[in-house]
């Protein structure tokens, strides 16, 4: 990924590192990109964790970070991408639950989460699987067909993974019109 940069910062520095080293991406990067309709970071050998600021890509119709080495949970802030139709997170090392706020996005036509390590999902996401919108093949969801062998899941989870600012993964920096809950007024988490 030599030379790939935006606003003077390398694209590699945009994703939170998985070590305790300091984060060096500009917090305003995703706000500056907020008018882009297609954001393609696929096949770039990116590593680290997705920052919650990815939810600032308000005009995005396509967001593709497939086939990298990104890890951690999927930030709930992706629920702010009201216009998104295609989300591709396939072929990474994401794990945990598939956020219901992401599955509830009204324009979503394709949500590809295959070839990761997700372990569970809620009823809205199950409906997307039945509609053929959500692809969760080759993950670790116990009651779903076409999952990884148990020994692969055990091996993956036997190695601790760390994403800094864990509290930011459930932070939603917008009002969700498809939610019945009133918006939460919280201060933006500081990247530490």
For residue 123, what pLDDT is reported? 95
Buried b (16+ CB within 10 A) or exposed e, 29-39: bbeebeebeeb
pTM above 0.75, yes or no: yes
For residue 6, what pLDDT is reported? 39
Please tell me the distance from the alpha carbon of residue 123 to that of residue 143, in angstroms, as a whole number: 13
Q: CA distances (Å), 103 to each of 79, 97, 152, 163, 171, in order?
A: 8, 11, 26, 22, 16
Q: Going residue by residue through the chain, which has 192 residues, state the pLDDT in tens, using 9 for 90 and above.
A: 333 333 344 444 444 444 444 333 445 666 667 778 998 989 989 999 998 899 999 999 999 999 999 999 999 999 999 999 999 999 999 999 999 999 999 999 999 999 999 999 999 999 999 999 999 999 999 999 999 999 999 999 999 988 988 889 999 988 876 555 444 444 555 555
Contacts of 99 (CB under 8 A, 6+ apart): 73, 74, 75, 76, 78, 79
For residue 100, what pLDDT is reported? 96
Mapping DSSP to helix (H, G, I), strand (E, B) and coil, where does residue 155 land? helix
For residue 124, what pLDDT is reported? 96
CB 60 within 8 A of CB 39: yes
Residue 97 has what DSSP assignment?
E
Edge-first strand listing for the sheet containing 134-135: 38-40, 62-64, 86-88, 110-112, 134-135
Q: What is the H or E stretch that residue 70 is in?
A: strand 69-72
For residue 147, what pLDDT is reported? 98
**β-sheet bridge partners, residue 9:** 6
Strands 5-6 and 69-72: unpaired
Please tell me the distance from the alpha carbon of residue 137 to that of residue 167, in angstroms, as a whole number: 28
For residue 72, what pLDDT is reported? 95
Buried b (16+ CB within 10 A) or exposed e, 94-130: bbeebbebbbbbeebeebbbbbbbbbebeebbbebbe
Please tell me the distance from the alpha carbon of residue 122 to that of residue 108, in angstroms, as a whole number: 16
Domain 5-170 coded CATH 3.40.50.720: no
- Domain ranges (residues) in the chain: 5-170
For residue 29, what pLDDT is reported? 62
For residue 30, what pLDDT is reported? 65
């Amino acid at each position: 990924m030599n030379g790939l940069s935006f606003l003077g910062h390398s694209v590699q520095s945009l994703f939170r590192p998985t070590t305790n080293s300091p984060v060096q991406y500009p917090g305003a990067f995703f706000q500056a990109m907020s008018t882009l309709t297609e954001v393609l970071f696929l096949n770039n050998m990116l590593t680290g964790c997705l920052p919650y600021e990815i939810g600032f890509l308000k005009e995005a119709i396509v967001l593709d970070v497939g086939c990298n080495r990104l890890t951690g949970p999927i930030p709930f802030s992706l629920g702010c991408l009201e216009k998104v139709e295609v989300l591709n997170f396939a072929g990474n090392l994401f794990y945990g639950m598939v956020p219901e706020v992401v599955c509830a996005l009204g324009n979503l036509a394709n949500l590809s989460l295959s070839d990761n390590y997700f372990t569970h999902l809620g009823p809205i996401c199950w409906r997307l699987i039945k509609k053929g919108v959500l692809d969760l093949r080759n993950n670790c969801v116990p009651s779903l067909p076409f999952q990884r062998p148990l020994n692969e899941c055990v091996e993956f989870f036997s190695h601790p993974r760390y994403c800094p600012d864990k509290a930011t993964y459930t932070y939603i920096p917008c009002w969700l019109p498809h939610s019945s809950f009133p918006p939460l007024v919280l201060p933006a988490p500081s990247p530490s």
